Amino acid sequence: MSEQKIHTQEDLLVIEKMLLPFNQFVKIESSGGVVLILCTIIALIWANSPLAHYYEEFKNIPLTVGAGEFILSKPAILWINDGLMAVFFFLVGLEIKREVLVGELNSLRQASLPICAAVGGMVVPALVYVYFNYGTSSIGGWGIPMATDIAFSLGVLSLLGDRVPVSLKIFLTAIAIVDDIGAILVIAIFYSSGVSLWIIGLGLLFFLMMIVLNRMGVRAPFPYLILGIFMWLAFLKSGVHATVAGVLAAMTIPASTTLCCGNFVSSIRKSLMEYELAGGKSPVTLSNKEMLSSLEEMHNDILMASPPLKRIEHNLHYFVAFAIMPIFALANAGISFSSDSGGGGLDVFHPVSIGIFFGLIVGKTVGICLASWVAIKIGIADRPVTMQTGHFLGAALLAGIGFTMSIFIATLAWGNHAEFIVDAKFSILAASAVAGLLGFLVLRSCSLSLTCNKSNPL
């Protein structure tokens, strides 16, 4: 019996060692970006291959949900952009709420530098785009270069590891969060059409009911899920983009605990003692009711001592990174470069292409660096001690990685089959690649120069 048990444990160790590379891959911050890049490449190859018609069929597969007279039928691309992206924005909303409560945005003095930097990084790119597209029918895409892809920018930064100061990571994260807030406002105000006030009122009623649940101390996620779905449906039909419902739903998720530290520790100790005492009655936990009861009590205590916001955010992170974002990229990044693709083919010198490209690279860099310098100079923000001038430049370049958010806003600005969409998506991909590479090189150069200065102080 003991030999069989040993063999079983050895087999488990072998399996764990085999799965270790995969587990490490999943835990790396940049791994979600790797999957996103692979799906983008697949979409580009697929859209320009002899099987391109299957790509269009894939995006336009009709999907229907409902019963009786309540039917919601949309092509797959709209389910992805209106439905799955609402989940993405729900996660963004959770991150924003956490940062405001306990993170880098929980005090005005602490948040002033990234707020100023983010505002500069949104206004200047929009002005760059308007400069190239003023007086043309493509002016509606001004919001595209304003966006920053938080996953990609932080993924590139993570490649540098400990060679960049923690203050830089905090600065870039805070910029991306404020940038997301700006993108949400832009989508809600400028990229929503045919607004129905009474349906918005219905959606806000569901939002109010979720706030009441929060005030009543309801911590189970299911009631919030049901009301959140109804709110999403209301916003979907109201004319305000449905992803806004995801952000509003996130604001209602409880962020407090119902079991204080002292009570949690004493309760866990009591359950552990009961578990230990019950352990001698049966060697098999499954048949030991006392041990199972103790485990259940500890599980409930852990749930009561952990904020639902943080728990839901953690559980959603990998689903969004490895499912929603790759599916979005696969459905939206497929650009056909042929002249008979329906959009007139690719024109890299079109005002849309030039405006987006220079907006993301030049506009973001100038806007963030200039706004940061002004904020520090006039005294409304403090410069992090460990951040050098090159760090600000590198962070500003990484913020020029628009990718997911920029593509999403492009689909809202002109729809999925408009004449500018090919130029817009190509410029977004090209600018994001250039911005990521330049940002990486600048920050790597900063880390090398700091290393040399430390080793040669004279």
The CATH class given to the 33-60+72-192+241-256+307-453 domain equals mainly alpha
pLDDT, tens digit, 9 for 90 and up, residues 161-176? 777 887 888 888 888 8
The encoded tokens of residue 376 equal 């520090």
pLDDT, tens digit, 9 for 90 and up, residues 356-405? 999 999 999 999 999 999 999 999 988 888 888 899 999 999 999 988 88
Q: Nearest Cα to 309, choosing from 85, 107, 97, 105? A: 97
Residue 46 CB-density burial (10 A; 0-12 exposed, 13-18 middle, 19+ buried): middle
The pLDDT value recorded for residue 184 is 84
- For residue 376, how far is the Cα from the chain centroid? 29
d(CA 229, CA 270): 40
3 state DSSP class of 114: helix
pTM: 0.79
The strand pairing partners of 11, in sequence order, are none
Q: Is 3 a residue whose pLDDT tops 50?
A: no
d(CA 299, CA 297): 5
The pLDDT value recorded for residue 13 is 59
C-alpha angle 141-94-179 in degrees, rounded to nearest 5: 30
Q: Nearest Cα to 408, choosing from 234, 133, 229, 184? A: 184
The pLDDT value recorded for residue 124 is 97
Helix (H) or strand (E) holding 453: helix 421-455
The full set of domain ranges for the chain reads 33-60+72-192+241-256+307-453, 261-303
d(CA 391, CA 447): 9
The strand pairing partners of 75, in sequence order, are 62
d(CA 145, CA 154): 18
pLDDT, tens digit, 9 for 90 and up, residues 176-189? 888 888 888 888 88
The pLDDT value recorded for residue 193 is 73
d(CA 428, CA 434): 10
User: What one-letter code names the amino acid at 430?
Assistant: A
